[in-house]
Amino acid sequence: MSASRVLAGVLASVALVGACSGEDGTGGNAPIAPSLDQELTELLAAEGVKPVEKPAAQDPGLVKLGQLLFFEKELSGRRNIACSTCHHPLLGSADGQSQSRGQGATGLGPQRVHGPKSLFLARNTLSIWNRGVKGWDTMFWDGRLAGNPTDGYISPAGDATPQEFSNALAAFFIIPITPGEEMRGFQGELDVNGNPNEIGDLTDADFAQIWPLVVARAMAIPEYRDALLAAFPGTTEADINVVHLAEAVGAFMTDAFTALDTPFDRYLAGNHGALSDAQKRGAMLFYGRANCGSCHSGSLQTDFGFHNIAAPQVGTGKGEEAPLDYGRGRITLKEEDRFKFRTPSLRNTELEGPWMHNGAYAHLEDAVRHHLDPEAFLKAYNDKQVEPELWGTYQNSEETRKTLLASLDPMLKVEGAPLTDAEVADLMAFLSALTDPASLNQLYLIPDSVPSGLPVDD
Ligand code: HEC
Ligand code: HEC
């Protein structure tokens, strides 16, 4: 071996030793740049981004029952709409509309069309991915249902809210079955078979009267009655109430829509090959310089808090303030909470457009770029991207823009230079790492039929 070959070999091993000792910070002569993985691992640790604890396995009998109830139109006043109509397994557990067309409309997702009396729901349908994860205690864009077994539950039903739920996800069931435009139907309207709708005679506020009527619908079908009694040993027919149905639907949603096997989860579990370099750079920006992680914090990308990012005020709006939507401000009645909405989790976000509380953006990249310059996006916003019936509803006055921007959340800031297009592309790559491949095709979740015999295809 020549002397120079030997020297080269020695130098190489010195470099190797340097790299190893540099990693644990114990020395090495020259500083060696940390690898992207090293930087990202440190950033994630500093930001408290850890592997997510999967929910406990659900009781298979309860899951099966919950699945049928989730697809069951018998639970709606006019027997024309089910949870699955708006939270469809093939539509990212939502419905692909900017705002959902409620009971009385027909068809599924973007093909859904209004009937003579159907209305839009006031907000974009939330996806239901990972809502069974422990700690997910706050529901709705404005947080109006919340709780856990220790602290109890609050909901729009006020004092009538039952308290026996396993989690907020199960508790949720008590709400969509009650509004006239959503599932209950209105007074005097017949059901799809021409029979009276006994639930439609009540009003939205009659929660405690509506629930037993919905339970009675299920209990009148022997298959549900038997499955409910079997799923809750020790109960009699008279004991079965809305909480039992809710627990079943909650168990199904947890079982079916937990989506925690994404490239990002694999990375968090230590597989550094699970993310591409672009995704890693995107994660560095997300939890670092672009400051997304200050609101979209932790492993589920939400602080469960409420923020105003000045999303375009488009669509129906909500309540007395319509066509505006005060969001969290409607619940707390505080002026400083106006236009705040719960930070959405970004898990599977690619699959559940349109985006924002009212589905203002039809393209995910626009929803992201909006954060980087809300004022410019408000000025340039084109409402042709929402449902055609809602064209022309964009509140474009300078006054509205000013009001929205006046209370813009200060955490909406990028440190240093504005993001380049290449950096935005990296952010988008990171968002794609939050998609669980298993969620891409959930056709298997749709039952062939439900006990009422009503259709399951929309
Ligand atoms: C007509 C469409 C429609 C139907 C039917 C419907 N939902 Fe929803 N769902 C929505 C919309 C819209 C929202 C968001 C409303 C808001 O935040 O104001 C939502 C929100 C939710 C959420 C909250 C998720 C979160 O992150 O806070 C859950 C859970 C849910 N629905 C479950 C159900 C269940 C269970 C049923 C059946 C009993 C059901 N939905 C029926 C449209 C619908
Ligand atoms: C000040 C808190 C805050 C910061 C910082 C923030 N977001 Fe958001 N983000 C929100 C809120 C709140 C919404 C929902 C607003 C609405 O619907 O009116 C949202 C919506 C979104 C949506 C649409 C999700 C959906 O389901 O509709 C995406 C995507 C998103 N943010 C990505 C990002 C990215 C990427 C960054 C960093 C560049 C970021 N956000 C920074 C609070 C924040």
User: What does the DSSP 8-state code read for residue 385?
Assistant: G
254 and 271 housed in the same domain: no
| Spacing, Cα 148 to ligand 1 middle (Å) | 18
235 and 274 housed in the same domain: no
Q: Per-residue pLDDT for the chain (458 aa), expressed as one digit of tens each?
A: 444 444 444 344 434 433 444 344 444 566 778 899 999 999 999 999 999 999 999 999 999 999 999 999 999 999 999 999 999 999 999 999 999 999 999 999 999 999 999 999 999 999 999 999 999 999 999 999 999 999 999 999 999 999 999 999 999 999 999 999 999 999 999 999 999 999 999 999 999 999 999 999 999 999 999 999 999 999 999 999 999 999 999 999 999 999 999 999 999 999 999 999 999 999 999 999 999 999 999 999 999 999 999 999 999 999 999 999 999 999 999 999 999 999 999 999 999 999 999 999 999 999 999 999 999 999 999 999 999 999 999 999 999 999 999 999 999 999 999 999 999 999 999 999 999 999 999 999 999 999 999 999 99
Quote the strand ranges of 58-166, DSSP E: 138-139, 145-148, 152-154
337 and 241 housed in the same domain: no
Ligand nearest to the CA of 293: 2
Q: Are 174 and 246 in contact (CB under 8 A)?
A: yes
168 and 289 housed in the same domain: no
Q: Give the whole-angstrom CA distance, residue 313 versus residue 408.
A: 14
The pLDDT score that the predictor gives to residue 51 is 98
CA-to-CA separations, 143 to 27, 112, 149, 339, in angstroms, rounded: 51, 27, 17, 13
| Spacing, Cα 126 to ligand 1 middle (Å) | 6
Q: Is residue 83 part of a domain?
A: yes
| Spacing, Cα 398 to ligand 2 middle (Å) | 23
> What sign does the dihedral 400-405-409-412 (CA atoms) show?
positive
| Spacing, Cα 368 to ligand 2 middle (Å) | 7
| Spacing, Cα 421 to ligand 2 middle (Å) | 18
> For the whole model, what pTM was predicted?
0.93
276 and 301 housed in the same domain: yes
Q: Does the C-beta of 129 come closer than 6 Å to ligand 1?
A: no
191 and 301 housed in the same domain: no
Q: Phi, psi (5° rounding) for residue 89? A: -60, -25
Sequence-separated (6 or more) residues with CB below 8 Å from residue 320? none
Ligand nearest to the CA of 97: 1
151 and 227 housed in the same domain: yes
Structural domain of 427: 263-437
Q: Is residue 447 part of a domain?
A: no
Q: Does the C-beta of 328 come closer than 6 Å to ligand 1?
A: no
- CATH code at position 413: 1.10.760.10
Residue 139 CA: which ligand 1 atom is closest? 27
CA-to-CA separations, 75 to 93, 173, 223, in angstroms, rounded: 19, 11, 14
Q: How many CA atoms lie within 13 A of 289 on its CB side?
A: 15
Q: Is residue 245 part of a domain?
A: yes
Q: Does the C-beta of 71 come closer than 6 Å to ligand 1?
A: no
| Probe residue for ligand 2, chosen from 296, 352, 369, 420 as the CB with the greatest number of ligand atoms within 8 Å | 296
> Which residues are 105's β-sheet partners?
103
Q: Is residue 347 part of a domain?
A: yes
Q: Does the C-beta of 183 come closer than 6 Å to ligand 1?
A: yes
